[in-house]
A and B are shown apart, each in its own frame.
Chain A
Amino acid sequence: MTEYTLERRDVVHRILKERGDAAVVTGIGNASHDVASAGDDPLNMYLFGVMGGAVMTAFGIALAQPDRRVMVITGDGELLAGIGSLATVGVEKPKNLSIVVIDNQAYGATGGQLTHTAAGVDLVGIAAASGIPRTALIEDESVLESAIKDIYQGEGPYFAVVKVVAVAAPRVHVPNDGTLTARRFRQAVSGKVG
Chain B
Amino acid sequence: MAEQTGWSDEVFSILRAAGVAQVAYVPDAGHKQLINRCIADNKIKHVPLTTEEEGVALLGGAWLGGERGALLMQSSGVGNIINMLSVSNECRFPLLMIVTMRGEWGEFNPWQLPMGQATQPTLEAMGVIVLRADAPEDVPETVAAAAKLSFEAGRMVAVLIGQKVIGFKNWDK
Contacts and interface: CB of A to CB of B under 8 A. Distances in A.
Given A56-B61, A63-B47, A182-B92, A82 B54 contact: yes
B48 A60 contact: no
The listed residue with most A CB atoms (<10 A of its CB), out of B49, B87, B93, is B87
A65 B66 contact: yes
Interface in B57-78: 57-67, 69
A163 B143 CA distance: 47
A179 interface: yes
A182 B59 CA distance: 13
B84 A53 contact: yes
Given A50-B83, A60-B60, A179-B91, A84 B54 contact: yes
Interface string B32-60: 00000000000001011111011111111
A89 B93 CA distance: 22
Contacts of A185: 64
A57 B64 contact: yes
B147 to A, nearest CB: 16
B21 interface: yes
B86 interface: yes
A173 interface: no
Which applies to chain A's interface (DSSP): helix, strand, loop or mixed? helix
Contacts of B172: none
Contact of A60 (B50, B69, B83, B84): B69
Contacts of A132: none
Interface stretch (A31-39, A41-49, A98-106, A117-125): A41-49
B8 interface: no
A185 B93 CA distance: 12
Interface string A160-188: 00000000000000000011011001100
Nearest to B82: A50
A192 interface: yes
B61 A61 contact: yes
B120 interface: no
A56 B61 CA distance: 7
Interface string B84-112: 10110011110000000000000000000
A47 B91 CA distance: 10
B150 interface: no
Contacts of B54: 56, 82, 84-85, 88
A58 B84 contact: no
A105 B106 CA distance: 49
Interface of A: 25, 45, 47-50, 52-65, 82, 84-85, 87-88, 91-92, 178-179, 181-182, 185-186, 189-192, 194
Given A60-B60, A60-B65, A60-B69, 14 more contacts: A25-B61, A50-B83, A50-B84, A52-B57, A53-B53, A53-B87, A56-B54, A56-B57, A56-B58, A60-B61, A63-B45, A82-B54, A82-B57, A84-B54
Interface of B: 21-22, 45, 47-51, 53-67, 69, 83-84, 86-87, 90-93, 154
